[in-house]
């Protein structure tokens, strides 16, 4: 919660570098699937992007109006998907730092997002929310294409099987 991310070498147990942001805390972080980029969601409503090789941050993705609570790179590494307490899902182009889609309102979550997972083919995002719902969104169109019903409390975690079209969701219920 100090606005810093430490990058460690586990083989030597040494600190490789410290990545700093604003004084806001971080909610999560993810490594790029193919290079040494790190993204992290912050309480300051932004997604911070760093190059871990150079301990430098090349960009900030701004657009959410509340804490960025979850996010990840697509498996192909071209896009970033992020969810927020503002009940929106955003799909960003990594290279241009432009938001491609904002998913919100009718047919989507009514409360803050808590978790998301991206299919191995980079085609769909599954997101969970404090409103007990699970939604499936097409990454290319930004459209909600389905929902999974069954929880009676906030959906807090999920995972997608790399071999099957299966999603596991966990809830406070």
The alpha carbon of residue 107 and the mean position of all alpha carbons in its chain are separated, in whole angstroms, by: 20
Q: What mean pLDDT do residues 62-77 have?
A: 97
Mean per-residue pLDDT, 58-71: 94
- Cβ count within 10 A of residue 38: 17
As to burial, measured by CB atoms within 10 angstroms (0-12 exposed, 13-18 middle, 19+ buried), residue 9 is: exposed
Query: Region 74-101: what's the mean pLDDT?
Result: 96
Cβ neighbours around 46 below 10 Å, total = 21
Spatial CB neighbours of 114, under 8 Å, sequence gap ≥ 6:
69, 70, 83, 128, 129, 130, 154, 155, 156, 157
Q: Is the pLDDT of residue 142 over 90?
A: yes
Q: Give me the domains of the chain, ranges plus CATH numbers.
A: 4-171 (2.130.10.10)
Q: Counting beta carbons within 10 angstroms of the beta carbon of residue 11, is it exposed (0 to 12), middle (13 to 18) or buried (19 or more)?
A: exposed
When pLDDT is averaged across residues 50-78 and rounded to a whole number, the result is: 92
Residue 167 binned pLDDT confidence (cut-offs 50, 70, 90): very high
Q: What is the pLDDT of residues 20-35, one digit of tens each?
A: 776 788 999 999 999 9
């Amino acid at each position: 919660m100090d606005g810093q991310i430490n990058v460690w070498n586990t083989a030597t147990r040494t600190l490789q570098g410290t990545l700093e942001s604003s004084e806001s805390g971080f909610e999560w972080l993810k490594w790029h699937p193919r290079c040494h980029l790190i993204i992290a969601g912050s309480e300051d409503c932004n997604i911070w992007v760093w190059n871990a090789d150079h301990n430098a941050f090349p960009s900030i993705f701004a657009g959410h109006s509340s804490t960025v609570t979850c996010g990840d790179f697509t498996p192909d590494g071209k896009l970033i998907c992020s969810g927020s307490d503002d009940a929106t899902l955003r799909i960003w182009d990594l290279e241009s730092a432009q938001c491609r889609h904002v998913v919100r309102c009718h047919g989507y979550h009514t409360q803050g997002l808590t978790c998301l997972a991206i299919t191995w083919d980079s085609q769909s995002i599954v997101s969970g929310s404090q409103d007990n719902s699970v939604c499936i969104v097409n990454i290319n169109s930004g459209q909600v294409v389905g929902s999974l019903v069954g929880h009676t409390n906030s959906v807090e975690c999920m995972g997608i099987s790399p071999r099957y079209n299966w999603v596991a969701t966990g809830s406070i219920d």
